Amino acid sequence: MSSPQQYPPREATVQEALQWISDGRCSSHDLVSRYLDFLETEGKELGAVVETFETEALAAAKLSDKRREQSELLGPLDGIPFTAKMNITTAVGTTDASSSMLVGFKAGEDATVVRRLLAGGAVLVGKTSCDEFAMGATNETSCHGVVANPWDRSRVPGGSSGGAAALAGSHGWAFHLGSDTGGSIRLPAAFCSATGFKPTWGRVSRRGLIAFGSSLDQIGPIARDASDCALVLDCIEGADPLDSTSLHQLDESRDPIEKVALVSEGFGPGIDDSIREAVRAAAEQMEQHGVEITEVSLPQLHAANACYQVIATAEASSNLARYDGIHVGNRVAADDLQLLYEKSRRAGFGVEVRRRILLGTFVLSAGYRDAYYSRAQAVRDLIREGVDHALEQVDALLLPVSPFAPFPIGERIDDPIALYACDILTVTANLAGVPALALPCGFDEAGLPIGMQLMGARGSDRRLLQLGQQWQQWTAHHRDLPVGSPS
């Protein structure tokens, strides 16, 4: 195959890259091959990529080019490279959730989302690093090492889908599957200046997602813009007979969003000034384009993080019980069963995972359950009601993703409370099961990315993405690449 004269610009979205391919300016094989080079060099330097599948990916790209020649494309993403987070199963490679417990684990089958993307012709190029079992906000708990923020390599990329966001923040052409339990798509997207979308709970099948907090977990895309996210959602959403919590009826409304409310609690004390200003400025821009902006108070937000910590850890303590050294998971040999459990789990789980398992076990224990787990469930109901009520008045809620900018690696990792503070503005969407979209909305004085999030009612995923697309037509924050990126 002759090498092409040129490639799409580095920041090009999936749709722009597709345009290049369909114009014949480059082939899918060219694109995938060049993207693999990026993964092998910068991707690995950032610590974002754990595995690449060069042979399989190049073969798949070649097939895609052949289909394109014969006008037999499998779908709108045919020929486009994508990665999956290490907690999403793939038939090729390993799926270890970035945990020593599962290092080397071959799932042997594709998650439903991966299966659907492959069936649509998309090309799986690699697996991305994440926090161990998706537990973390900084991508510092991965057994594959720390991931660096492409905007400042001394800083964290956010977590848990840190690898995916670091890639999306520094290069276009591709999209990345992440998962979001309490902000794990949106926080790293905001920290790395990428666009990340957490769909309505149940809209996307969880089959093949290594469970953390099942009632909160949701797979979603991280990409360059909302338009690409919508394209990915089209392919991966919908009922799955292998996930009985997947939704059978999706709201297909595409009525444009007319009313957006700023959530006061997202602009209060504890939120960086530059972040408050950037998100307010974004609201003003929307207003200039005819979106009605109001403000609403959601006092339940103050209880959201505590509620989240109880429910997420309770479910995690149960979901991670299967890694017992007997069935799946690495075993440390011992003379008796109890020791085998203890040694295997101590060796396999990192500090943060162990902390959450212990906390989750505690909140479900007899004598404590009522004070913690049951109360958290009641608070969750109140939060859901509060969000639902607010979204009866307006079409979407607007608030920052993170209260602060990406911070230096190592700064918070030994301070769980400071670490959990990263999630205060994101967990509400998971508790309420509503969709939430993180969009880049500028940079602070240090040049670090700022993200804002839009939350909509359950099922309004498409309307939310549509507003995101519009906003990204009015602005160009999402086009920026880290200074010094090779072109």
Give the binding site for other proteins (CB under 8 A).
88-89, 95, 97, 102, 105, 107-109, 111, 206-211, 213-215, 241-245, 314-315, 317-318, 320-322, 324, 326-328, 337, 341, 361, 364-366, 369, 373
Q: How far apart are CA 168 and CA 185, in angstroms?
A: 12
Q: Nearest 5 degrees, angle CA 169-CA 188-CA 35?
A: 35
Residues near 293 by Cβ (< 8 Å), separated by ≥ 6? Answer: 259, 260, 261, 262, 283, 284, 286, 287, 398
Of 167 and 363, the one with the shorter C-beta distance to other proteins is 363
184, 205, 317, 460: which one is catalytic? Answer: 184
Catalytic: 66? Answer: no
Least separation in angstroms between residue 384's CB and other proteins is: 15
Of 251 and 342, the one with the shorter C-beta distance to other proteins is 342
Least separation in angstroms between residue 83's CB and other proteins is: 17
Least separation in angstroms between residue 102's CB and other proteins is: 7
Of 215 and 297, the one with the shorter C-beta distance to other proteins is 215
Of 348 and 440, the one with the shorter C-beta distance to other proteins is 348
Q: With 0-12 CB in 10 A as exposed, 13-18 as middle and 19+ as buried, what is 342?
A: middle
Least separation in angstroms between residue 372's CB and other proteins is: 11
Of 318 and 475, the one with the shorter C-beta distance to other proteins is 318
Distances (CA, A) of 107 to 40, 86, 91, 145: 23, 11, 6, 22
62, 85, 127, 198: which one is catalytic? Answer: 85
Of 8 and 208, the one with the shorter C-beta distance to other proteins is 208
Q: How far is CA 482 from the centre of its chain?
A: 20
Least separation in angstroms between residue 317's CB and other proteins is: 8
Least separation in angstroms between residue 440's CB and other proteins is: 31
Report which of 137, 46, 33 is spatially closest to residue 403, judged by C-alpha positions.
Answer: 137
Of 433 and 449, the one with the shorter C-beta distance to other proteins is 433
Chain length of the chain: 487
Catalytic: 184? Answer: yes
Least separation in angstroms between residue 223's CB and other proteins is: 23
99, 160, 161, 246: which one is catalytic? Answer: 160
Report which of 48, 21, 22 is spatially closest to residue 32, judged by C-alpha positions.
Answer: 21
Catalytic: 85? Answer: yes
Burial 431-454, CB ≥16 within 10 A → b, else e? bbbbbbbbbbbbbbeeebbbbbbb
Of 88 and 438, the one with the shorter C-beta distance to other proteins is 88
Least separation in angstroms between residue 17's CB and other proteins is: 30
Dihedral sign computed on CA atoms, order 439, 126, 423, 303: positive
Q: Which residue numbers are catalytic?
A: 85, 160, 184
